[in-house]
Structure 1
Amino acid sequence: MTIEIAHIRQAQERIFPYVQPTPLRPSHALSERLQAKVSLKFETMTATGAFKLRGATNKLLNLPEDQRARGVITVSSGNHGRAVAYISKALGIRAVVCMPEIVPPEKVAGLRDFGAEIVIHGQNQDEADAEARRIGQRDGLLFVSPFDDADVIAGQGTIGLELLEVAPQLDTVLVQLSGGGLMSGVAKALKSIKPEIEVIGISSLHGAAMLESIRAGKIVTVEEEPTIADALPGPIPPDNRYTFAMCRELVDDHIQVSEDQIAEAMAYILHNEKCIVEGAGAAGVAALLNHPDRFKGKNVAAILTGDNIKVERALSIIAKAQSPRT
């Protein structure tokens, strides 16, 4: 299946009862600092606090009735698991979420609060993924990929539609890269409507599997390291169907950001936008703050992708960061 703008428009109509458009707000502080027109897309305002609800909702609403009756399974320690659990509960669908043993107890409790059945298995994401697929085959549960799925990608792409509906004059959009589900959908929507728009992928310096794969011209394995932006790293499976090809085709440029830059961006967002975001959610702002000349005079948007972080941890990271300057 080739993902087209029509699929994204269909997803926008399909998910609307469950996922309303999120605000795109001008950032006075960033605009003044960069001498540009900067807007921020607040995906923190969805019901689960992250953009992942869009893709999960589109996927589950598009399931045939017999599969809805059997249920779904996924692997996630964060926003994707929360999204699948939330929309499954709303639709009355059984949802199982597999997580590795290293996941903090509060994240496990959070998913249970959303109504998911939890399976703890393995030392890492790959082992949890393998267990999820095994259980899915055994119990007839559909595996819902966090990113490499046509319906999931189309759902995430609705962000791109909303950006240009509100700000058709945008020159540049910064999108977190990660496994490519968000980027594939948003870039497809943006480029389909406005081919000349510049789309920049934002990756961390740790475990940037998609970026390294694009550079290598093939899917590669990278070493994962602990990071405050834990939603950004992660492996790209060798059987990837969509996101690698779409990201390679649609992304115009790439920026990587460091741990310190992400922490400083989290502090900057709290002080200037009055919003707590997780590390990955601050990555686009980190790129803006550290490459001001790159965006001078442009009309640019960045996405605050999620707020799935304990307030205490966020404040601890922010306290250690350099004091922001407006």
Structure 2
Amino acid sequence: MKKMRKLRVYKQRGLGLTFFLEILEKVPILENTHDVEYDKFCDPENPRKIKYDDILAASRRIAGTIVRTPCTRAHMCDKLGMEIYLKQEFMQYTGCFKERGVRNTLLLLSEEQKKIGVISASTGNHGLSMSYHTTQMGIPCIVVMPVRAPLTKLTKCQAYGAKTLLHGENMAEAKHYAMAMSKEKKLYYINGYDHPNVIEGQGTVGIEIVEQVPDVDAVIVPVGGGSLLTGIAIAVKHLKPDTEVYGIQTEKAYSMVEALKRGERVKINIDATIADGLGVGLAGVNTFYNLKNGGILDKMVVVKEDWVARAIMHLVENERYVVEGAAAVTVAALMAGLFPNLKGKKVVCVLSGGNIDTTTLARALERGMAAEGRLVKFKVTVSDRPGGMADMCAMLATTGVTLRDCIPERAWVKGDVFSVELKVIVETRGWEHTKELVEIVKKRYKECFFPEMIEKPDKTPGAKRGPCLAPNPVCMQK
């Protein structure tokens, strides 16, 4: 039995007009979920082992069509006590490493399949890469997105030339629909984080890292579905076996950590996370298989979201790079003190993408400033007579802080009616300046309140920490 569902289709000038008109029809959706979502390239019963030779072939295949991104020394080296190099994958045309895997997969399609077209489900970077490169190669393409997909990503996909469909409340429903359509229309479904050719394409980052930093001691990689980590780990361990490879996830998106800990793929619920590019609830079939059995991964590490916000801020201020949360997790892990074993060593952090919307960026910068004691809020009760608030503002001016906001509250103040409680937000130069401010305010006013502030590095990153997978872990040696 079949169901009929309506589609919302967004038309954009591009390729394959006849093909586009065909998908306007109602598309039958098979009820058997197993049949619909079966993908021979990502089969749990037959996982694919990824080989270095295929990654090397992919590197030669995509040369000239993908940006060979810089890998430059960071300004924060002295502060963190190690030689840090930043692999700038946000320099790709669509702002993300995903282009490598997409281009490699498209180049390997048969001529007949290139005429029929491809399809994928995505909420962001994979969809952007699909849209751009299929247009460049003249291949019809559909990107299915959940109805709540970011508007900026939707409009960018359309601008690059793809046909975009909105369907489902989440990625699971969007993927189900996309795979059903692929079987009905004989479209080639490309899994953005688990297709073997995609993993091979992402692995080309690893080859470039070893060429650009030949004496690299460790490579730190963000992990969502795992294609980037798997490809890089295979390439780096083949070319330089002694180099350590680490994967980073956040406390809200840790599907690969949990899978490696339990020895099986486990579905987790993804809450809203600043690293939305890592929001994959179930690790990939092929990526999990290679990471678990390949001896290519040293450890998975979880970093807290506040450190990700701080890393975004530091990359903007110190490196002049604007990156998304998923990219900043590698620097965040170093800033949080999670790798004391890498002190004095050469470390490459992969900055996987730069597609962050302005609202999220603004929130991340403010969250980062607050976490570092540079944005402080407090309550203080002052006289409500003429000059009371002016005296408080004058006092703040003498301390050298910048007043960001000041809200008076009179109705719920205890005590005499000639007092007013002020909710104040100020900007300081850092922890020492903040301590000075606290002392001055407490000395001047009896009724004041500052929330608890923490300035220590994160020595205990949390319970969800991945197992050590290295056969002879360097980080455990004395």
Range of TM-score over shorter length: over 0.9
Quote the residue 1:63 is aligned against. 109
Shift of 1:89: 0.3
Say whether 1:81 aligns with 2:144.
no
State the partner residue of 1:201. Answer: 247
Counterpart pick for 2:61 among 14, 21, 32: 14
Q: Find the partner of 2:287 among 234, 240, 243.
A: 243
Shift of 1:320: 2.7
Letter in 2 for 1:246: N
1:52 aligns with 2:98: yes
- Contact kept, 8 Å, 1:94 with 1:116, in 2: the verdict is yes
CA distance in 2, matches of 1:12, 1:36: 29
Is 1:28 the equivalent of 2:75? yes
Which portions of structure 1, spanning 4 or more consecutive aligned residues, are displaced by more than 6 angstroms? none
> Secondary structure at 1:28's aligned position in 2?
coil
Q: Distance in 1 between matches of 2:231 and 2:300?
A: 17
Q: Which residue of 1 aligns with 2:220?
A: 174
Task: For 2:358 and 2:60, locate their aligned partners in 1 and report how far apart those are by CA, in whole Å.
Answer: 34
SS at match of 1:242: helix
Q: Would you say 1:231 and 2:270 are equivalent positions? A: no
Q: Is the 8 A contact 1:204 1:233 kept in 2?
A: no
Q: After TM superposition, give the deviation of residue 150 of structure 1 in Å.
A: 1.1
- Please give the secondary structure, in 2, of the residue aligned with 1:282: helix
Partner residue of 1:2 out of 43, 49, 70: 49
Match of 1:185 in 2: 231
- Partners of 1:20 and 1:5 in 2: CA distance: 21
Q: Offset at 1:59? A: 0.4
Aligned 8 A contact 1:281 1:306 in 2 = yes
Deviations 1:38-86 (A, max 9, x none): 1000001111111000000000011110110000000111111100111
Quick one: higher RCO (CA 8 Å, sep 6+), 1 or 2?
1
Contact 2:75 2:319 in 1 (8 A): no
Equivalent position of 1:222 in the other structure: 268
Correspondence 1:111-126 to 2 at 5 A: 111-126=157-172
Matched, 1:159 2:225: no
Instruction: Check whether the contact 1:34–1:293 (CA below 8 A) recurs between aligned residues.
Output: no
Amino acid in structure 1 at the alignment position of 2:185: D
TM-fit CA distance, 1:3: 1.7
- Residues 263, 317 of structure 1: 8 Å contact kept: yes
Distance in 2 between residues matched to 1:236 and 1:311, nearest whole Å? 28
Higher relative helix content = 1
CA contact (8 A) 1:200 1:254 kept: yes
**Structure 1: stretches of 5+ with no match in the other structure:** none
User: Residue 288 of structure 1 contacts residue 295 of structure 1 at CA under 8 Å; is this kept in 2?
Assistant: no
Q: Would you say 1:97 and 2:143 are equivalent positions?
A: yes
**Partners in 1 of 2:285 and 2:320 — Cα distance?**
39
Instruction: Give the stretch that moved more between structures: 207-216 or 86-95.
Output: 207-216
Q: Are 1:300 and 2:344 matched, yes or no? A: no
AA matched with 1:309: I
1:91-129: per-residue Cα shift (whole Å, max 9, x none)? 000110011112122221111111111111111110000
- CA shift digits 1:9-28 (9 cap, x unpaired): 11111111210310000012
Whole-Å Cα distance in 1 between the matches of residues 277 and 193 of structure 2? 12
Q: Tell me, what secondary structure is at the counterpart of 2:231?
A: helix
Indicate conservation of the 8 Å contact 2:253/2:273, yes or no.
no
1:236 Cα offset (Å): 2.2
In the alignment, the residues of structure 2 paired with residue 204 and residue 268 of structure 1 have an alpha-carbon distance, to the nearest angstrom, of 18
Give the aligned residue type for 2:179: R
> Cα distance, 1:164 vs. partner?
0.3
Taking only aligned residues, the RMSD between alpha carbons, in angstroms, comes to 1.4
Percent of aligned positions that are identical: 35
Partner in structure 1 of residue 367 of structure 2: 320
TM-score normalised by L of structure 1:
0.96
CA distance in 2 between counterparts of 1:191 and 1:123 reads 40
- Secondary structure at the residue paired with 2:219? strand
Moved more, 14-23 or 129-138: 14-23
Pair 1:132 & 2:178 matched: yes
Matched positions, count: 322
Q: Partner of 2:188 in structure 1?
A: 142
Task: State how far apart, in whole Å, the 1-side matches of 2:285 and 2:167 are.
Answer: 26
Contact kept, 8 Å, 2:143 with 2:165, in 1: the verdict is yes
Among 358, 362, 365, the alignment partner of 1:311 is 358
Q: Which amino acid aligns with 1:76?
A: S
| Higher Rg | 2
